[in-house]
């Protein structure tokens, strides 16, 4: 049941990115054939005790043509996706589960300074990290370079499909997605017992 939803969401996002990047694409006109889209199995899989990362080869013709790269994260209950950042903007579609995520925005000199204490509350908050809850069906937009993390506080695995817009002007490198800790296991289990 998850695969049809995943395929539909992936194809919709690929078509969206293809349309937005068609004007700035350096590839020849008519090279991309939208009537020849194929479903692919992941090329790379990293398994750990708290989750799985699956990715598709970003150098495949269909992904190069659309200017995107795709990964799927499965985070087990009480699992944490460690902070990471990418060279390209991202859209994350939550296929299954619920949890919370945090985003730290770059470029703010006072990132680690705490906010001023308000007179009505004695609680202090971090100004440049946004923490939000998510659930099935949500779409999360992340700008290039923004460090982010994700925690599964639900009772079922979180399945999230990420589309990297590698053709975006914010990506100042090549069209390959670059994610910190790509070759390592970026999950860990949080045990509060």
Query: Considering the domain boundaries, does residue 7 fall inside one?
Result: no
Query: Considering the domain boundaries, does residue 112 fall inside one?
Result: no
Q: Output the 3-class SS for the chain.
A: CHHHHHHHHHHHHHHHHHHHHCCCCCCCCCCCCHHHCCCCCCCEEEEECCEEEEECCCCCHHHHHHCEEEEEEEECCCEEEEEECECCCEEEEEEECEEEEEEECCCCCCCCCECCCCCCCCCCCECCEEEEEEECCCEEEECCCCEEEEECCCCCCEEEEEEEECCCCCCCCCCCCCECCCCCCCEEECCCC
Q: What is the pLDDT of residue 188?
A: 40
Query: Considering the domain boundaries, does residue 77 fall inside one?
Result: yes
Number of folded domains in the chain? 1
Query: Considering the domain boundaries, does residue 119 fall inside one?
Result: no
Which range marks the domain in which residue 148 is found? 50-106+127-192
Query: Considering the domain boundaries, does residue 176 fall inside one?
Result: yes
Q: Which residues contact 45 (CB under 8 A, 6 or more apart)?
A: 52, 53, 54
Q: Round to the nearest angstrom and report the end-to-end CA distance of the chain.
A: 34
Query: Considering the domain boundaries, does residue 29 fall inside one?
Result: no
* Structure confidence by residue, pLDDT tens digits, 79-132: 999 988 888 899 999 999 999 999 987 655 554 544 444 444 545 555 678 899
Query: Considering the domain boundaries, does residue 161 fall inside one?
Result: yes
Read off the CATH number of the domain in which 166 is found. Answer: 2.60.120.10
Q: What is the pLDDT of residue 117?
A: 44
| Percent of the chain surpassing pLDDT 90 | 33
Q: What is the pLDDT of residue 141?
A: 94
Structure tokens at 151: 């925690």
Q: What is the pLDDT of residue 7?
A: 63
């Amino acid at each position: 049941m998850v695969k049809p939803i995943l395929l539909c969401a992936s194809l919709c996002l690929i078509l969206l990115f293809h349309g937005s990047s068609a004007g700035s694409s350096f590839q020849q006109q008519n090279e991309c054939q939208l009537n020849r889209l194929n479903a692919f199995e992941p090329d790379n899989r990293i398994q750990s005790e708290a989750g799985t990362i699956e990715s598709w080869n970003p150098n495949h013709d269909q992904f190069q043509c659309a200017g995107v790269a795709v990964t799927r994260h499965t985070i087990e209950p009480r699992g944490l996706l460690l902070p990471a950042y990418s060279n390209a903007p991202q859209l994350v579609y939550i296929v299954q589960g619920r949890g919370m995520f945090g985003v730290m925005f770059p470029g703010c000199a006072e990132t680690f300074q705490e906010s001023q204490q308000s007179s009505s509350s004695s609680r202090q908050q971090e100004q440049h990290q946004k923490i939000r809850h998510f659930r099935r069906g949500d779409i999360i937009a992340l700008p290039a370079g923004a460090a982010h993390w994700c925690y599964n506080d639900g009772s079922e695995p979180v399945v999230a499909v990420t589309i990297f817009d590698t053709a975006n002007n914010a990506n100042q490198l090549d069209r390959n997605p670059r994610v910190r800790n790509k070759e390592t296991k970026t999950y860990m289990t949080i045990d509060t017992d």
